[in-house]
């Protein structure tokens, strides 16, 4: 799919609709108690909890250091010290959670949340019983490792021309962090969309095409999730849960993937055509 083929008006509406669905997703989580059942996936679920707690503790510790750095000599000095300390705290938080590959690494480790939330939400919407088990989760975890790595690589690849462009037009350099953040947000959203697409046996390449076709949904999910990951303690746990439920609600309502499945992306028939042409040529030669 060519990025130029994207219908901007349609994607803008998808973006708006997805953002508006986040509150509904929060209510859905509470009503259906979607947090129940995480532990059935064995020791993997303990891993994400420990990692999330460690990340949260690190952020809290940075905040405590921020308070300790504030000097109370004079009011002006206090304000200045607080500003510098808060800047240090925010920088540490940014480096920890929003570094080049940190977010994607976190999502790989937190796959159990995305996997559980996406599948439970879909089966509640469709009325089918969820048959997800530990073996399904292991396969999804391996796929998430690949998708997370792909998302990070594509983020780096698309960031290169952006950095070059802002290097040429230095007077617009202040916009560079926002542009880079938006690129990362889309591919973060892709990792969530892929969890939905995986349930219908789409290959990763097909899943990426699906995410591109629904750019507004993918970008909105990644944007909100990326921002929520900055919240200490709760962020790493709540962000993927809320994003997974929101994406599932929107894609189930707005796309026919759950009806058509892989039929949305039929296989190319090039090889078959070549074989047919070869067979026809052999027949002519024999004749």
Domain ranges of the chain: 35-271
Q: At what angle do helices 111-126 and 8-32 cross, to 10 degrees?
A: 90
- Written as tens digits, the pLDDT of the chain (287 aa) is 556 667 788 999 999 999 999 999 999 999 999 988 776 776 666 676 677 666 656 655 655 665 566 544 444 455 555 555 545 544 444 444 445 577 788 888 888 889 999 999 999 999 877 667 778 888 998 999 999 999 999 999 999 999 999 989 988 888 998 999 999 999 999 999 999 999 999 999 999 999 999 999 999 999 999 888 877 777 888 999 999 999 999 999 999 998 888 788 887 655 555 555 555 555 554 55
Give the predicted TM-score (pTM) of the model: 0.78
- As a whole number of angstroms, the distance between CA 239 and CA 249 comes to 16
Give the pair of three-digit tokens for residue 89: 């705290």
Instruction: Say if residues 84 and 91 touch (Cβ distance below 8 Å).
Output: no
User: Could you identify the residue written with the tokens 């808060």?
Assistant: 86
> Could you tell me which residues come within 8 angstroms of residue 119 by beta carbon, excluding any fewer than 6 positions away?
130, 132, 199
């Amino acid at each position: 799919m060519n990025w130029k083929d994207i219908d901007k008006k349609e994607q803008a509406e998808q973006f708006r609709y997805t953002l508006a669905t986040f509150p509904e997703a929060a209510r859905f989580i509470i009503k259906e108690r979607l947090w129940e059942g995480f532990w059935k996936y064995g020791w993997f679920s303990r891993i994400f909890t420990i990692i999330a707690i460690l990340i949260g503790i690190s952020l809290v510790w940075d905040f405590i250091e921020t308070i300790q750095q504030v000097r109370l000599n004079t009011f002006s000095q206090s304000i200045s010290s607080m500003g510098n300390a808060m800047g240090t705290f925010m920088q540490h938080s940014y480096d920890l959670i929003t570094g080049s590959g940190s977010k994607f690494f976190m999502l790989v480790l937190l796959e159990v949340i995305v996997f559980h939330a996406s599948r439970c939400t879909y089966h509640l919407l469709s009325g089918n019983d969820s048959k997800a088990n530990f073996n399904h989760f292991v396969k999804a975890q391996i796929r998430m490792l690949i998708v997370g790595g792909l998302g990070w690589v594509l983020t780096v690849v698309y960031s290169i021309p952006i950095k070059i462009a802002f290097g040429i037009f230095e007077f617009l350099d202040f916009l560079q962090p926002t542009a880079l953040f938006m690129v990362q947000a889309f591919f973060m959203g892709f990792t969530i969309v892929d969890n939905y697409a995986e349930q219908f046996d789409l290959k990763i390449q097909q899943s990426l095409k699906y995410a591109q076709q629904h750019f507004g949904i993918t970008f909105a999910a990644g944007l909100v999730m990326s921002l929520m990951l900055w919240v200490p303690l709760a962020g790493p746990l709540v962000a993927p849960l809320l994003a997974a439920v929101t994406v599932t609600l929107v894609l189930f309502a707005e796309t026919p993937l759950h009806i058509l499945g892989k039929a949305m992306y039929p296989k190319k028939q090039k090889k078959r055509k070549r074989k047919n042409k070869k067979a026809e040529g052999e027949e002519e030669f024999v004749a």
